[in-house]
Structure 1
């Protein structure tokens, strides 16, 4: 199966200089737990709800003055539209991650692929194996 058939299309990303309070509002509005962060038209990291909880709330930082780039998880792992869903599953398993930005042939983000998207696209057995694999490091 193709990644484009399973992904969540039209995903947004946050600017590196965006206050995390705005990123959190994006998460609420879109009902998501992670937002890719970009700078100079390139993805540079991912800001997750966990990043917000640990690096902002627990650290008692002001969410209106703290910028996405200051508390995001740096680096970006992604998949491309020419890969198969199985390729993405193996990458998520290998990197122990739950979400992947999807890039097109021009390296533009066109969607997000998450565990929930995969669960709807593949059988329960494969989805269950992936969930166990990516959740294993949180024990």
Structure 2
């Protein structure tokens, strides 16, 4: 099975981030504009602080009766989220996501700097594409049409 680096090679290293002093409303607008389910939270020096997801919004704003235009990201973000590196296997990511019931994994380098973000959708897509390639290769081998 592949590594996180294989996913990032396909989708790129671009990460959408927000500052901790932005409002939840601003973050929600960014989620909609970018069509993503999570944003990384970084400080003014682009140091990785945490993650803000739709789940954070649902659990820490809506269910608590808070106002999204008045609540700051720093108040509800997930600090110190589970992270992975480019060398982690896709299988390990699947286990972490399943066991911890999370949908996004920030990817960090050896120094803890943010270098990417993968979602459960990225992992599932990689696995399906990998399995499709294996099946095609086996069919070609069996039929003698491999090149």
Structures share fold, TM-score greater than 0.5: yes
The answer to which structure has the higher strand fraction is: 1
Q: TM-score, normalised by structure 2?
A: 0.71
1:43 aligns with 2:62: no
- Determine the structure 2 residue equivalent to 1:133: none
- Determine the structure 2 residue equivalent to 1:30: 34
Structure 1 stretches lacking a partner, 5+ long: 127-139
Query: C-alpha distance in 1, partners of 2:112/2:57?
Result: 27
- Determine the structure 2 residue equivalent to 1:17: 21
Using CA pairs below 8 Å that are at least 6 residues apart, which structure has the higher relative contact order? Answer: 1
1:110 aligns with 2:111: no
User: Which one of 87, 92, 97 corresponds to residue 87 of structure 1?
Assistant: 92
Structure 2 stretches lacking a partner, 5+ long: 132-147
Query: C-alpha distance in 1, partners of 2:105/2:33?
Result: 19
Query: C-alpha distance in 2, partners of 1:43/1:122?
Result: 28
In structure 2, do the counterparts of structure 1 residues 97 and 53 end up closer, same or farther at CA, with 3 Å as the change threshold? closer
1:36 shift after superposition: 2.0
Aligned length: 125
* Greater displacement, 83-92 / 9-18: 83-92
1:5 aligns with 2:6: yes
Moved over 6 A (4+): none
RMSD of the alignment, in Å? 2.3
1:59 aligns with 2:60: no
In structure 2, do the counterparts of structure 1 residues 75 and 105 end up closer, same or farther at CA, with 3 Å as the change threshold? closer
Structure ID, larger Rg: 2
